[in-house]
Structure 1
Amino acid sequence: MNFLVAAALAVCAYVSSVHCASEPIAWCYHLPSCNDNTWPTISPQYCNGTRQSPINIVSSNSKPDASLTAFTFKNFDNTSVLKSIKNTGGTVKVTFGSGVQVSGGGLSEAYDSLQFHLHWGNGSSVPGSEHTVDGKRYPMELHIVNSKASYNGNTTQAVADSKGLAVLGFFIEEMSGTATGQPASWKTLTSYLTNIKNKDDSVSIASGISLDDLLDGVNLSRYYRYLGSLTSPACNEAVVWNVFKEPIKVSKDLIDLFSTTIHINNSSSPLMTNVFRKIQPDQPVTESAGISSRED
Protein backbone atom coordinates (compact mmCIF):
# COMPACT_ATOMS: atom_id res chain seq x y z
CA MET A 1 0.00 0.00 0.00
CA ASN A 2 1.43 3.37 -1.00
CA PHE A 3 0.59 6.17 1.36
CA LEU A 4 2.20 9.02 3.24
CA VAL A 5 2.95 8.66 6.94
CA ALA A 6 3.33 12.24 8.05
CA ALA A 7 5.53 12.01 11.10
CA ALA A 8 4.67 15.46 12.37
CA LEU A 9 0.98 16.16 11.99
CA ALA A 10 1.93 16.15 8.30
CA VAL A 11 3.14 19.64 9.08
CA CYS A 12 6.86 18.86 8.90
CA ALA A 13 6.48 17.92 5.23
CA TYR A 14 4.46 21.04 4.59
CA VAL A 15 6.34 23.56 6.71
CA SER A 16 9.88 22.24 7.23
CA SER A 17 11.33 22.88 10.67
CA VAL A 18 13.40 21.28 13.40
CA HIS A 19 10.59 21.98 15.87
CA CYS A 20 7.80 19.55 15.07
CA ALA A 21 5.26 17.64 17.12
CA SER A 22 5.05 13.92 16.38
CA GLU A 23 1.72 12.28 15.59
CA PRO A 24 1.81 9.96 12.59
CA ILE A 25 -1.11 10.25 10.19
CA ALA A 26 -1.39 7.97 7.16
CA TRP A 27 -2.83 9.80 4.16
CA CYS A 28 -2.55 9.83 0.40
CA TYR A 29 -4.04 11.29 -2.77
CA HIS A 30 -4.47 8.20 -4.93
CA LEU A 31 -6.07 5.36 -2.92
CA PRO A 32 -9.70 5.18 -1.72
CA SER A 33 -8.48 4.01 1.69
CA CYS A 34 -6.48 7.18 2.42
CA ASN A 35 -7.34 9.88 -0.17
CA ASP A 36 -8.84 13.26 0.68
CA ASN A 37 -12.33 11.82 1.06
CA THR A 38 -11.05 10.04 4.18
CA TRP A 39 -9.09 12.91 5.74
CA PRO A 40 -11.99 14.24 7.85
CA THR A 41 -12.15 10.77 9.41
CA ILE A 42 -8.46 9.92 9.77
CA SER A 43 -7.56 13.43 10.95
CA PRO A 44 -10.81 14.85 12.32
CA GLN A 45 -9.51 17.58 14.62
CA TYR A 46 -8.96 20.00 11.73
CA CYS A 47 -9.66 18.24 8.41
CA ASN A 48 -13.31 18.18 9.46
CA GLY A 49 -13.19 21.85 10.44
CA THR A 50 -15.02 24.94 9.20
CA ARG A 51 -12.05 26.91 7.83
CA GLN A 52 -10.60 24.46 5.34
CA SER A 53 -8.58 24.98 2.16
CA PRO A 54 -8.45 25.08 -0.82
CA ILE A 55 -11.54 26.97 -1.97
CA ASN A 56 -13.08 28.20 -5.18
CA ILE A 57 -12.55 31.97 -5.27
CA VAL A 58 -15.57 33.73 -6.76
CA SER A 59 -14.11 36.97 -8.06
CA SER A 60 -17.41 38.84 -8.04
CA ASN A 61 -17.82 38.11 -4.32
CA SER A 62 -14.33 39.29 -3.39
CA LYS A 63 -14.37 42.56 -1.45
CA PRO A 64 -11.61 45.18 -1.87
CA ASP A 65 -9.63 45.74 1.34
CA ALA A 66 -7.49 48.89 1.58
CA SER A 67 -5.39 47.28 4.34
CA LEU A 68 -4.04 44.71 1.89
CA THR A 69 -1.21 46.91 0.70
CA ALA A 70 2.24 46.18 -0.71
CA PHE A 71 4.22 43.14 0.35
CA THR A 72 7.90 43.50 1.00
CA PHE A 73 9.92 40.50 -0.18
CA LYS A 74 13.32 40.12 1.44
CA ASN A 75 15.96 38.05 -0.39
CA PHE A 76 13.55 36.86 -3.06
CA ASP A 77 16.21 38.09 -5.51
CA ASN A 78 18.98 36.02 -3.88
CA THR A 79 20.25 33.42 -6.37
CA SER A 80 21.72 31.24 -3.59
CA VAL A 81 18.69 30.89 -1.34
CA LEU A 82 17.18 27.74 -2.90
CA LYS A 83 19.09 25.03 -1.04
CA SER A 84 17.59 21.61 -1.78
CA ILE A 85 14.81 19.88 -3.68
CA LYS A 86 13.07 16.74 -2.39
CA ASN A 87 10.48 14.17 -3.41
CA THR A 88 8.37 13.88 -0.23
CA GLY A 89 6.14 11.14 -1.61
CA GLY A 90 3.31 13.63 -2.04
CA THR A 91 4.93 16.65 -3.66
CA VAL A 92 8.19 18.24 -4.74
CA LYS A 93 9.51 20.55 -2.01
CA VAL A 94 12.27 23.17 -2.28
CA THR A 95 13.81 24.29 1.01
CA PHE A 96 15.27 27.79 1.51
CA GLY A 97 18.28 29.10 3.35
CA SER A 98 17.84 31.62 6.16
CA GLY A 99 17.10 35.31 5.69
CA VAL A 100 14.13 35.07 3.32
CA GLN A 101 11.08 36.96 4.58
CA VAL A 102 7.70 38.36 3.61
CA SER A 103 6.17 41.37 5.37
CA GLY A 104 3.61 44.08 4.69
CA GLY A 105 0.47 43.14 2.80
CA GLY A 106 -1.60 43.61 5.93
CA LEU A 107 0.29 40.85 7.76
CA SER A 108 0.62 41.34 11.53
CA GLU A 109 4.42 40.89 11.45
CA ALA A 110 7.24 39.62 9.27
CA TYR A 111 7.05 35.94 8.27
CA ASP A 112 10.10 33.77 7.62
CA SER A 113 9.95 32.03 4.24
CA LEU A 114 10.76 28.33 4.72
CA GLN A 115 10.02 26.42 1.52
CA PHE A 116 7.85 26.05 -1.51
CA HIS A 117 6.12 22.99 -2.89
CA LEU A 118 3.85 22.26 -5.83
CA HIS A 119 0.53 20.67 -6.66
CA TRP A 120 -0.35 19.30 -10.10
CA GLY A 121 -2.71 17.05 -12.02
CA ASN A 122 -1.64 14.84 -14.89
CA GLY A 123 0.26 16.97 -17.36
CA SER A 124 -0.91 20.27 -18.79
CA SER A 125 -4.09 18.64 -20.15
CA VAL A 126 -5.39 17.52 -16.70
CA PRO A 127 -5.23 20.55 -14.40
CA GLY A 128 -4.21 20.13 -10.77
CA SER A 129 -4.12 23.47 -8.96
CA GLU A 130 -5.66 23.36 -5.50
CA HIS A 131 -7.50 26.68 -5.56
CA THR A 132 -9.80 27.56 -8.43
CA VAL A 133 -11.05 30.96 -9.56
CA ASP A 134 -14.62 31.18 -10.82
CA GLY A 135 -14.47 27.42 -11.24
CA LYS A 136 -11.29 27.45 -13.33
CA ARG A 137 -8.56 25.00 -12.30
CA TYR A 138 -5.03 25.75 -13.49
CA PRO A 139 -2.45 23.10 -14.47
CA MET A 140 -0.34 23.60 -11.32
CA GLU A 141 -0.06 25.65 -8.16
CA LEU A 142 3.04 26.73 -6.23
CA HIS A 143 2.87 27.40 -2.49
CA ILE A 144 5.52 29.45 -0.68
CA VAL A 145 5.17 28.63 3.03
CA ASN A 146 6.02 31.30 5.61
CA SER A 147 5.94 31.18 9.42
CA LYS A 148 5.68 34.10 11.85
CA ALA A 149 9.22 35.31 12.48
CA SER A 150 8.51 35.61 16.22
CA TYR A 151 8.21 31.81 16.42
CA ASN A 152 11.81 31.32 15.17
CA GLY A 153 10.89 28.34 13.03
CA ASN A 154 8.86 26.58 15.73
CA THR A 155 6.03 25.19 13.64
CA THR A 156 4.31 23.59 16.62
CA GLN A 157 3.61 27.13 17.82
CA ALA A 158 2.85 28.38 14.31
CA VAL A 159 0.16 25.79 13.55
CA ALA A 160 -1.50 26.50 16.93
CA ASP A 161 -1.91 30.17 15.92
CA SER A 162 -4.85 31.01 13.65
CA LYS A 163 -2.50 33.27 11.65
CA GLY A 164 0.76 31.50 12.41
CA LEU A 165 1.47 30.68 8.77
CA ALA A 166 1.14 32.79 5.63
CA VAL A 167 1.15 30.98 2.30
CA LEU A 168 1.70 32.67 -1.05
CA GLY A 169 -0.16 30.73 -3.73
CA PHE A 170 0.70 31.07 -7.42
CA PHE A 171 -1.16 29.44 -10.28
CA ILE A 172 0.95 27.97 -13.09
CA GLU A 173 -0.49 28.18 -16.58
CA GLU A 174 0.71 26.77 -19.89
CA MET A 175 2.64 29.29 -21.95
CA SER A 176 0.96 30.11 -25.24
CA GLY A 177 2.56 29.08 -28.52
CA THR A 178 5.00 26.27 -29.13
CA ALA A 179 7.84 27.40 -26.84
CA THR A 180 9.75 24.67 -25.02
CA GLY A 181 12.07 24.84 -22.02
CA GLN A 182 10.71 28.20 -20.93
CA PRO A 183 11.24 30.18 -18.84
CA ALA A 184 14.90 29.40 -18.25
CA SER A 185 14.49 29.46 -14.46
CA TRP A 186 11.85 26.72 -14.66
CA LYS A 187 13.99 24.70 -17.05
CA THR A 188 16.74 24.81 -14.44
CA LEU A 189 14.37 23.86 -11.61
CA THR A 190 12.80 20.94 -13.49
CA SER A 191 16.23 19.65 -14.51
CA TYR A 192 16.54 18.36 -10.95
CA LEU A 193 13.46 16.14 -11.21
CA THR A 194 15.38 13.23 -12.72
CA ASN A 195 17.48 13.19 -9.53
CA ILE A 196 14.48 12.87 -7.20
CA LYS A 197 12.35 10.26 -8.93
CA ASN A 198 11.83 8.20 -5.77
CA LYS A 199 10.34 9.12 -2.40
CA ASP A 200 12.80 10.81 0.00
CA ASP A 201 15.31 11.48 -2.79
CA SER A 202 16.84 14.91 -2.18
CA VAL A 203 19.61 16.87 -3.89
CA SER A 204 21.22 20.25 -3.41
CA ILE A 205 20.35 23.10 -5.76
CA ALA A 206 23.26 25.01 -7.28
CA SER A 207 23.30 28.79 -7.09
CA GLY A 208 21.86 30.55 -10.09
CA ILE A 209 18.08 30.94 -9.75
CA SER A 210 16.06 33.01 -7.31
CA LEU A 211 12.45 33.12 -6.20
CA ASP A 212 12.06 36.29 -8.25
CA ASP A 213 13.22 34.37 -11.33
CA LEU A 214 10.56 31.70 -10.78
CA LEU A 215 7.86 34.34 -10.25
CA ASP A 216 8.90 36.49 -13.19
CA GLY A 217 6.03 38.19 -14.98
CA VAL A 218 3.56 37.99 -12.07
CA ASN A 219 2.08 41.23 -10.73
CA LEU A 220 2.77 40.77 -7.03
CA SER A 221 0.42 43.59 -6.02
CA ARG A 222 -2.75 41.73 -7.07
CA TYR A 223 -3.87 38.93 -4.75
CA TYR A 224 -6.82 37.44 -2.92
CA ARG A 225 -6.76 36.98 0.87
CA TYR A 226 -8.68 34.62 3.10
CA LEU A 227 -8.14 32.66 6.31
CA GLY A 228 -7.89 28.91 5.78
CA SER A 229 -5.90 25.79 6.51
CA LEU A 230 -3.09 23.55 5.44
CA THR A 231 -4.28 21.50 2.45
CA SER A 232 -3.02 18.14 3.73
CA PRO A 233 -3.48 16.43 7.10
CA ALA A 234 -3.63 17.54 9.82
CA CYS A 235 -5.27 20.44 7.90
CA ASN A 236 -4.44 22.89 10.72
CA GLU A 237 -6.55 26.04 10.48
CA ALA A 238 -3.56 28.32 10.82
CA VAL A 239 -3.01 29.85 7.37
CA VAL A 240 -3.35 33.38 6.04
CA TRP A 241 -3.81 32.57 2.34
CA ASN A 242 -2.62 34.97 -0.36
CA VAL A 243 -3.56 33.68 -3.80
CA PHE A 244 -2.12 35.79 -6.60
CA LYS A 245 -4.38 36.68 -9.49
CA GLU A 246 -1.83 36.43 -12.30
CA PRO A 247 -0.39 32.98 -13.12
CA ILE A 248 3.21 32.03 -13.75
CA LYS A 249 3.59 31.08 -17.43
CA VAL A 250 5.54 27.85 -18.04
CA SER A 251 5.90 25.87 -21.26
CA LYS A 252 3.90 22.66 -21.64
CA ASP A 253 6.94 20.37 -21.76
CA LEU A 254 8.15 21.53 -18.35
CA ILE A 255 4.72 21.23 -16.74
CA ASP A 256 4.44 17.68 -18.09
CA LEU A 257 7.72 16.65 -16.46
CA PHE A 258 6.19 16.60 -12.99
CA SER A 259 3.62 13.94 -13.81
CA THR A 260 5.94 11.85 -15.98
CA THR A 261 9.10 11.80 -13.84
CA ILE A 262 8.23 11.68 -10.13
CA HIS A 263 7.10 8.47 -8.39
CA ILE A 264 5.07 8.07 -5.19
CA ASN A 265 7.56 5.57 -3.77
CA ASN A 266 10.08 3.79 -5.99
CA SER A 267 10.35 3.23 -9.73
CA SER A 268 7.82 0.39 -9.63
CA SER A 269 5.20 2.53 -7.89
CA PRO A 270 2.76 4.84 -9.69
CA LEU A 271 3.85 8.17 -11.04
CA MET A 272 2.86 11.11 -8.85
CA THR A 273 -0.27 12.60 -10.42
CA ASN A 274 -3.34 14.50 -9.21
CA VAL A 275 -1.68 15.68 -6.01
CA PHE A 276 -4.26 18.20 -4.90
CA ARG A 277 -7.11 18.36 -2.41
CA LYS A 278 -10.67 18.85 -3.62
CA ILE A 279 -12.40 22.20 -3.12
CA GLN A 280 -13.70 22.96 0.37
CA PRO A 281 -16.65 25.17 1.45
CA ASP A 282 -16.43 28.89 0.68
CA GLN A 283 -14.72 31.36 2.98
CA PRO A 284 -14.94 35.18 2.96
CA VAL A 285 -12.40 36.52 0.44
CA THR A 286 -10.95 40.00 0.13
CA GLU A 287 -8.61 41.43 -2.47
CA SER A 288 -5.62 43.71 -2.39
CA ALA A 289 -4.50 47.15 -3.36
CA GLY A 290 -0.90 48.34 -3.49
CA ILE A 291 2.43 47.97 -5.24
CA SER A 292 4.91 45.21 -4.46
CA SER A 293 8.38 46.09 -3.24
CA ARG A 294 11.74 44.48 -2.57
CA GLU A 295 14.19 44.61 0.34
CA ASP A 296 17.73 43.58 -0.51
Structure 2
Amino acid sequence: MYRVWPTIAERDCNGTRQSPKDIVTVNILPDANLNSFKFTGYDDETTLYEIENLGYTIQIALDQEKMKVQGGDLPGLLISTQIHFHWGKGSAMPGSEHAVDGKRYPMEIHIVNKAVDVPNLLAALGFFIEATNDTGKPKSWKILTSYLAEIANAGDKVCITKYISMDDLLPGVDRTKYYRYFGSLTTPNCIEGVVLTIFKDPIKVSRDLIDLFSTTVHVNKASSSPLMTNTFRGIQAINRRIVKSQVTGSILSSETNPCFCSCIYFNI
Protein backbone atom coordinates (compact mmCIF):
# COMPACT_ATOMS: atom_id res chain seq x y z
CA MET A 1 0.00 0.00 0.00
CA TYR A 2 2.79 2.44 0.88
CA ARG A 3 4.39 2.17 -2.55
CA VAL A 4 1.27 3.39 -4.36
CA TRP A 5 0.38 6.32 -2.10
CA PRO A 6 2.02 8.91 -4.38
CA THR A 7 -0.29 7.59 -7.12
CA ILE A 8 -3.55 7.39 -5.19
CA ALA A 9 -2.95 10.74 -3.48
CA GLU A 10 -0.85 12.49 -6.09
CA ARG A 11 -1.70 16.05 -5.10
CA ASP A 12 -0.99 15.62 -1.39
CA CYS A 13 1.69 12.92 -1.17
CA ASN A 14 4.15 14.28 -3.72
CA GLY A 15 5.01 17.46 -1.84
CA THR A 16 8.51 18.74 -1.14
CA ARG A 17 8.40 18.34 2.66
CA GLN A 18 7.38 14.72 3.05
CA SER A 19 8.28 12.21 5.76
CA PRO A 20 10.01 10.02 6.71
CA LYS A 21 13.63 10.71 5.80
CA ASP A 22 17.14 9.42 6.22
CA ILE A 23 18.90 11.64 8.74
CA VAL A 24 22.48 12.19 7.55
CA THR A 25 24.40 13.21 10.63
CA VAL A 26 27.24 15.03 8.82
CA ASN A 27 24.66 17.49 7.47
CA ILE A 28 23.01 18.29 10.82
CA LEU A 29 23.15 21.88 12.03
CA PRO A 30 23.26 22.81 15.74
CA ASP A 31 20.40 24.85 17.15
CA ALA A 32 20.71 26.39 20.61
CA ASN A 33 16.91 26.75 20.80
CA LEU A 34 16.44 22.98 20.96
CA ASN A 35 16.35 22.81 24.73
CA SER A 36 14.92 20.15 27.05
CA PHE A 37 11.29 19.08 27.10
CA LYS A 38 8.83 19.12 29.95
CA PHE A 39 6.60 16.04 29.93
CA THR A 40 3.43 16.22 32.01
CA GLY A 41 1.50 13.07 32.78
CA TYR A 42 4.05 10.77 31.17
CA ASP A 43 4.63 9.04 34.50
CA ASP A 44 0.89 8.56 35.12
CA GLU A 45 -0.11 4.89 34.85
CA THR A 46 -3.73 5.69 33.97
CA THR A 47 -3.23 7.78 30.83
CA LEU A 48 -3.02 5.00 28.23
CA TYR A 49 -6.65 3.95 28.08
CA GLU A 50 -7.52 2.24 24.77
CA ILE A 51 -5.64 0.17 22.18
CA GLU A 52 -7.08 -0.38 18.70
CA ASN A 53 -6.29 -2.25 15.48
CA LEU A 54 -6.83 0.30 12.70
CA GLY A 55 -6.01 -2.13 9.91
CA TYR A 56 -2.78 -0.31 9.05
CA THR A 57 -1.25 0.23 12.49
CA ILE A 58 -1.86 -0.31 16.18
CA GLN A 59 -2.86 2.84 18.01
CA ILE A 60 -3.21 3.74 21.67
CA ALA A 61 -5.47 6.61 22.69
CA LEU A 62 -4.17 8.86 25.46
CA ASP A 63 -5.88 10.88 28.17
CA GLN A 64 -5.65 14.34 26.63
CA GLU A 65 -6.56 16.03 29.88
CA LYS A 66 -3.44 14.72 31.57
CA MET A 67 -0.71 14.28 28.95
CA LYS A 68 1.10 17.37 27.72
CA VAL A 69 4.48 18.37 26.26
CA GLN A 70 6.27 21.69 26.11
CA GLY A 71 9.80 22.95 25.59
CA GLY A 72 12.15 21.65 22.94
CA ASP A 73 11.44 24.78 20.86
CA LEU A 74 7.90 23.55 20.25
CA PRO A 75 5.19 26.22 19.80
CA GLY A 76 3.92 26.51 23.35
CA LEU A 77 1.89 23.80 25.05
CA LEU A 78 0.96 20.64 23.14
CA ILE A 79 -1.52 17.92 24.07
CA SER A 80 -0.49 14.29 23.56
CA THR A 81 -3.36 12.56 21.75
CA GLN A 82 -2.18 9.11 20.72
CA ILE A 83 0.73 6.79 20.05
CA HIS A 84 1.10 4.36 17.18
CA PHE A 85 3.67 1.95 15.78
CA HIS A 86 5.53 1.20 12.57
CA TRP A 87 7.18 -2.17 11.99
CA GLY A 88 8.44 -4.51 9.30
CA LYS A 89 8.17 -8.27 9.23
CA GLY A 90 9.78 -9.50 12.42
CA SER A 91 12.62 -8.26 14.58
CA ALA A 92 15.28 -9.19 12.02
CA MET A 93 13.86 -6.89 9.32
CA PRO A 94 13.85 -3.08 9.03
CA GLY A 95 10.57 -1.57 10.10
CA SER A 96 11.27 1.97 11.29
CA GLU A 97 10.15 4.83 9.09
CA HIS A 98 13.17 7.05 9.69
CA ALA A 99 16.79 6.08 9.23
CA VAL A 100 20.03 7.55 10.58
CA ASP A 101 22.94 7.41 8.14
CA GLY A 102 21.07 4.67 6.31
CA LYS A 103 20.45 2.56 9.40
CA ARG A 104 16.89 1.52 10.15
CA TYR A 105 15.51 -0.26 13.20
CA PRO A 106 12.91 -3.05 13.51
CA MET A 107 10.26 -0.62 14.80
CA GLU A 108 9.46 3.01 15.45
CA ILE A 109 6.91 4.53 17.81
CA HIS A 110 5.30 7.94 17.32
CA ILE A 111 3.64 10.07 19.96
CA VAL A 112 1.31 12.52 18.24
CA ASN A 113 0.68 15.94 19.78
CA LYS A 114 -1.50 18.87 18.80
CA ALA A 115 -0.68 22.48 19.64
CA VAL A 116 -3.03 24.35 21.95
CA ASP A 117 -2.41 27.85 20.59
CA VAL A 118 -1.50 27.12 16.93
CA PRO A 119 -4.47 25.85 14.91
CA ASN A 120 -3.95 22.59 13.01
CA LEU A 121 -0.31 22.24 14.03
CA LEU A 122 0.85 18.71 14.83
CA ALA A 123 4.12 17.57 16.37
CA ALA A 124 5.33 13.99 16.49
CA LEU A 125 7.86 12.52 18.89
CA GLY A 126 9.58 9.54 17.27
CA PHE A 127 11.47 6.77 19.05
CA PHE A 128 13.42 3.93 17.42
CA ILE A 129 13.02 0.41 18.81
CA GLU A 130 16.10 -1.80 18.86
CA ALA A 131 15.89 -5.58 19.22
CA THR A 132 17.62 -7.45 22.05
CA ASN A 133 18.13 -11.15 22.69
CA ASP A 134 16.33 -11.06 26.04
CA THR A 135 12.93 -12.66 26.50
CA GLY A 136 9.83 -10.75 27.55
CA LYS A 137 11.64 -7.51 28.30
CA PRO A 138 11.11 -4.83 29.28
CA LYS A 139 8.13 -5.68 31.45
CA SER A 140 6.21 -2.65 30.20
CA TRP A 141 6.38 -3.90 26.62
CA LYS A 142 5.36 -7.39 27.71
CA ILE A 143 2.24 -5.86 29.24
CA LEU A 144 1.60 -3.77 26.13
CA THR A 145 1.99 -6.64 23.66
CA SER A 146 -0.27 -8.87 25.77
CA TYR A 147 -3.18 -6.85 24.36
CA LEU A 148 -2.38 -7.64 20.71
CA ALA A 149 -4.20 -10.98 20.80
CA GLU A 150 -7.33 -9.15 21.93
CA ILE A 151 -7.26 -6.83 18.91
CA ALA A 152 -6.23 -9.36 16.27
CA ASN A 153 -8.68 -8.11 13.63
CA ALA A 154 -9.14 -4.65 12.13
CA GLY A 155 -11.60 -2.58 14.11
CA ASP A 156 -11.00 -4.44 17.36
CA LYS A 157 -10.30 -2.24 20.37
CA VAL A 158 -10.07 -2.82 24.10
CA CYS A 159 -9.50 -0.70 27.15
CA ILE A 160 -6.10 -0.87 28.81
CA THR A 161 -6.69 -2.02 32.36
CA LYS A 162 -3.14 -2.93 33.40
CA TYR A 163 -1.29 0.03 34.83
CA ILE A 164 1.42 1.26 32.49
CA SER A 165 2.76 4.76 31.83
CA MET A 166 4.35 6.38 28.81
CA ASP A 167 7.61 6.67 30.73
CA ASP A 168 7.46 2.90 31.24
CA LEU A 169 7.45 2.43 27.45
CA LEU A 170 10.51 4.66 26.96
CA PRO A 171 13.15 3.07 29.22
CA GLY A 172 16.76 4.09 28.74
CA VAL A 173 16.04 6.97 26.35
CA ASP A 174 17.89 10.22 26.99
CA ARG A 175 15.18 12.66 25.96
CA THR A 176 17.62 15.59 25.82
CA LYS A 177 19.19 14.19 22.63
CA TYR A 178 17.15 14.45 19.47
CA TYR A 179 16.91 15.51 15.83
CA ARG A 180 14.42 18.10 14.53
CA TYR A 181 12.99 18.79 11.09
CA PHE A 182 9.73 19.74 9.40
CA GLY A 183 7.94 17.00 7.54
CA SER A 184 4.52 15.49 7.01
CA LEU A 185 2.05 12.82 7.92
CA THR A 186 3.01 9.56 6.24
CA THR A 187 -0.48 8.42 5.27
CA PRO A 188 -2.74 10.21 2.78
CA ASN A 189 -3.40 13.04 2.74
CA CYS A 190 0.23 13.43 3.82
CA ILE A 191 -0.30 16.89 5.34
CA GLU A 192 2.95 18.87 5.52
CA GLY A 193 4.20 21.24 8.20
CA VAL A 194 4.38 18.60 10.94
CA VAL A 195 7.15 19.20 13.50
CA LEU A 196 9.19 15.98 13.74
CA THR A 197 11.38 15.19 16.76
CA ILE A 198 13.36 11.97 16.42
CA PHE A 199 15.19 10.87 19.57
CA LYS A 200 18.68 9.50 19.18
CA ASP A 201 18.58 6.75 21.82
CA PRO A 202 16.54 3.67 20.88
CA ILE A 203 14.14 1.81 23.14
CA LYS A 204 15.49 -1.70 23.66
CA VAL A 205 12.83 -4.41 23.36
CA SER A 206 13.32 -8.18 23.17
CA ARG A 207 12.86 -9.87 19.80
CA ASP A 208 10.00 -12.08 20.94
CA LEU A 209 7.89 -9.03 21.81
CA ILE A 210 8.71 -7.18 18.59
CA ASP A 211 7.78 -10.31 16.59
CA LEU A 212 4.28 -10.29 18.09
CA PHE A 213 3.32 -7.24 16.04
CA SER A 214 3.88 -8.99 12.72
CA THR A 215 2.50 -12.39 13.80
CA THR A 216 -0.64 -11.47 15.76
CA VAL A 217 -2.67 -8.67 14.17
CA HIS A 218 -4.48 -8.71 10.81
CA VAL A 219 -5.31 -6.02 8.25
CA ASN A 220 -9.01 -6.86 7.91
CA LYS A 221 -11.87 -7.95 10.13
CA ALA A 222 -11.39 -11.66 9.44
CA SER A 223 -8.67 -13.69 11.13
CA SER A 224 -8.05 -15.28 7.74
CA SER A 225 -6.94 -11.92 6.31
CA PRO A 226 -3.22 -11.16 5.86
CA LEU A 227 -1.12 -10.38 8.88
CA MET A 228 -0.23 -6.73 9.34
CA THR A 229 3.39 -6.31 8.25
CA ASN A 230 5.59 -3.57 6.76
CA THR A 231 3.55 -0.73 8.24
CA PHE A 232 5.99 1.98 7.23
CA ARG A 233 6.39 4.45 4.41
CA GLY A 234 9.58 4.57 2.36
CA ILE A 235 12.24 7.26 2.77
CA GLN A 236 11.34 10.57 1.13
CA ALA A 237 13.61 13.12 -0.53
CA ILE A 238 15.20 15.74 1.70
CA ASN A 239 14.64 18.56 -0.85
CA ARG A 240 17.06 20.99 0.79
CA ARG A 241 15.44 20.72 4.18
CA ILE A 242 17.69 21.15 7.20
CA VAL A 243 17.85 18.73 10.08
CA LYS A 244 18.92 20.27 13.38
CA SER A 245 20.01 18.95 16.74
CA GLN A 246 20.43 20.46 20.19
CA VAL A 247 23.74 22.00 21.18
CA THR A 248 23.75 20.84 24.80
CA GLY A 249 21.48 18.57 26.84
CA SER A 250 19.69 19.54 30.01
CA ILE A 251 17.77 17.78 32.75
CA LEU A 252 14.30 16.66 31.79
CA SER A 253 11.28 17.74 33.73
CA SER A 254 8.53 15.18 34.12
CA GLU A 255 5.36 15.31 36.25
CA THR A 256 3.48 12.97 37.74
CA ASN A 257 -8.08 7.21 33.09
CA PRO A 258 -10.94 5.82 33.54
CA CYS A 259 -11.55 3.91 30.32
CA PHE A 260 -13.68 5.63 27.76
CA CYS A 261 -13.51 5.50 23.99
CA SER A 262 -13.55 8.96 22.45
CA CYS A 263 -10.33 9.14 20.45
CA ILE A 264 -8.66 11.51 18.00
CA TYR A 265 -6.75 9.72 15.24
CA PHE A 266 -3.76 10.92 13.29
CA ASN A 267 -1.00 8.73 11.84
CA ILE A 268 2.49 10.02 11.21
Q: Same fold (TM over 0.5)?
A: yes
Quote the Cα distance in structure 2 between the aligned partners of 1:295 and 1:203. 27
1:295 matched to 2:252? The reply is: no
The amino acid that maps onto 1:66 is: A
1:109 matched to 2:68? The reply is: no
Deviation digits for residues 224-268 of structure 1 (CA, Å, limit 9, x no counterpart): 000000011110003100000000000000000000001001211
Quote the Cα distance in structure 1 between the aligned partners of 2:169 and 2:72. 20
User: Does the CA-based 8 Å contact 1:82-1:207 persist in structure 2?
Assistant: no
The amino acid that maps onto 2:18 is: Q
Query: Which sections of structure 2, spanning at least 5 residues, go unmatched?
Result: 257-268
The residue aligned with 1:166 is 123
The amino acid that maps onto 2:192 is: E
User: Does the CA-based 8 Å contact 1:84-1:205 persist in structure 2?
Assistant: yes
Quote the Cα distance in structure 1 between the aligned partners of 2:66 and 2:47. 8
TM-score (norm 2): 0.91
The amino acid that maps onto 1:69 is: N
Q: C-alpha displacement at 1:109, in angstroms? A: 0.9
The residue aligned with 1:285 is 243
What SS does structure 2 have at the residue aligned with 1:189? Answer: helix
Supply the RMSD in Å over aligned alpha carbons: 1.1
TM-score (norm 1): 0.82
Q: How many pairs does the alignment contain?
A: 250
The one of 26, 29, 42 aligned to 1:63? 29
What SS does structure 1 have at the residue aligned with 2:117? Answer: helix
The residue aligned with 2:179 is 224
The residue aligned with 1:208 is 163
1:89 matched to 2:89? The reply is: no
The amino acid that maps onto 1:268 is: S
The amino acid that maps onto 2:130 is: E
1:140 matched to 2:99? The reply is: no
1:122 matched to 2:79? The reply is: no
User: Which runs of structure 2 are paired with 1:235-254 in the superposition (5 Å)?
Assistant: 235-254=190-209
What SS does structure 1 have at the residue aligned with 2:127? Answer: strand
Q: C-alpha displacement at 1:207, in angstroms? A: 4.3
The residue aligned with 2:137 is 182
Quote the Cα distance in structure 1 between the aligned partners of 2:209 and 2:141. 7
User: Does the CA-based 8 Å contact 1:227-1:241 persist in structure 2?
Assistant: yes
Quote the Cα distance in structure 1 between the aligned partners of 2:162 and 2:80. 18
What SS does structure 2 have at the residue aligned with 1:38? Answer: helix
Quote the Cα distance in structure 2 between the aligned partners of 1:249 and 1:216. 8
The amino acid that maps onto 1:140 is: M
Query: Which sections of structure 1, spanning at least 5 residues, go unmatched?
Result: 1-34, 152-156, 159-163
Quote the Cα distance in structure 2 between the aligned partners of 1:238 and 1:93. 22
The one of 232, 238, 242 aligned to 1:276? 232
Quote the Cα distance in structure 2 between the aligned partners of 1:37 and 1:139. 19
User: Does the CA-based 8 Å contact 2:51-2:160 persist in structure 1?
Assistant: yes
User: Does the CA-based 8 Å contact 1:39-1:233 persist in structure 2?
Assistant: yes
Identity %: 54
Kindly indicate whether structure 1 or structure 2 has the higher relative contact order, using CA contacts under 8 Å at least 6 residues apart. Answer: 2
The amino acid that maps onto 1:111 is: L
Q: C-alpha displacement at 1:108, in angstroms? A: 1.6
The amino acid that maps onto 1:221 is: T
Q: C-alpha displacement at 1:293, in angstroms? A: 1.7
Deviation digits for residues 81-133 of structure 1 (CA, Å, limit 9, x no counterpart): 00100000000000001221110001121110000000000011111000000
